[in-house]
Structure 1
C-alpha cells in the first residue's frame, strides 16, 4: 500500500473528508486492537518511558515508532473508525482507556524497552474483562480517569 499526503490525493481525486466513519463500540475497537497484535505475537514493540510521571499534556503527545499503538494506527479499519494518530493521548481517547489501563499496555516500567505483541494483546484483553467484573472494579476505573 502506498501512502500519500492528503494534498497529493486532492490533485488526482476528490477527497471527501466527511465520509461517514464506521461506528465501532469500545469493546469492538479493543478486540480489533488485540487481534491485530496477536497476528504477529512474537513481534517486539517499543514501549513509552515513564508514562505515569509525565505531565498530562506531554503524556498525551508521547509516541514511538513500532509501538502497540502504532500497530493499531496501521489498521485501516481502526483509522476509518476514528483513530487519528499513534499518540498516547489519541489511544486513550479512541479506545476509551484510563491512564492506568493504557499504562499497563505500553509503559517501559512493566516490560523494559520492548514488549511482545502477545503481552500487549493480553493486557488489552484484561481491560475488556474488567468491564464485566464487579462494582468495585468499575468504581476504581471511574476514579482513575
Structure 2
C-alpha cells in the first residue's frame, strides 16, 4: 500500500471532509431537527413511556423506540455538532431545551413529523421573542438615565 498526502489525493480523487465547517446556533439545530422530522410526514412517533414521571436524573437517561430523538441522533451533522446520544438528557442538553419544552415536544400521544416540527419551531421562536423582549427592556432601562441627563 502506498501512502499519499491529501494534496496528492486531490489530483486523483474527490476528498470529502465530514467535519462541520462551523457550529450551528441553537435555532439552526432545532430547525435541522424539525426538517428531519418533516421528511417523515406519515411516521407516528411514540410518546414517552409511562415511567417518564421518574426523577429527572433517571428521565435524562431515558431512551425509547420510535422517538423523535432517534431521528436527530441518526443525522451525521447533528452528531458531528455534538449530539451525544438518543436519550432525553442528550436532546435537552444539545438543543438547549428546558425540561417543560422537551415534554411539550416529546410527551404527547403519537404525533406525526409535521406536528413535531411545528412544535420545535414554536420553541425556537419563543426563545427568540423572549430574547428580543429582554433586549428592549434593557435598552429602555439604559435610556432612562440618558434622558434624565438630557432633559433634567
Question: What per-residue deviation string (whole Å, max 9, x for no partner) do you get for residues 31-64 of structure 1?
Answer: 0000000011121112213576220111101111
* Cα shift readout 1:35-94 (whole Å, capped 9, x = no counterpart): 000011121112213576220111101111221100000100100000011000000000
2:59 alignment partner in structure 1: 59
Q: Give the structure 2 partner of residue 49 of structure 1.
A: 49
List 4+ stretches of structure 1 deviating above 4 A. 19-22
Name 2:93's counterpart in structure 1: 93
**Post-superposition offset of 1:25:** 0.8
Match of 2:115 among 119, 125, 132: 119
**Normalised TM-score (structure 2):** 0.68
SS at match of 2:111: strand
Instruction: Determine the C-alpha separation between the residues in 2 that align with 1:43 and 1:102.
Output: 19
Structure of larger gyration radius: 2
Question: Superposed, which structure 2 residues align to 1:1-145 within 5 Å?
Answer: 22-49=22-49, 53-107=53-107, 110-111=108-109, 114-134=110-130
How many residues align? The count is: 115
What secondary structure does 1:129 align onto?
Answer: helix
Give the gaps of 5 or more residues in structure 1.
1-18, 139-145
* Larger proportion of helix: 2
CA distance in 1, matches of 2:36, 2:51: 23
| TM-score for both structures, normalised by structure 1 | 0.71
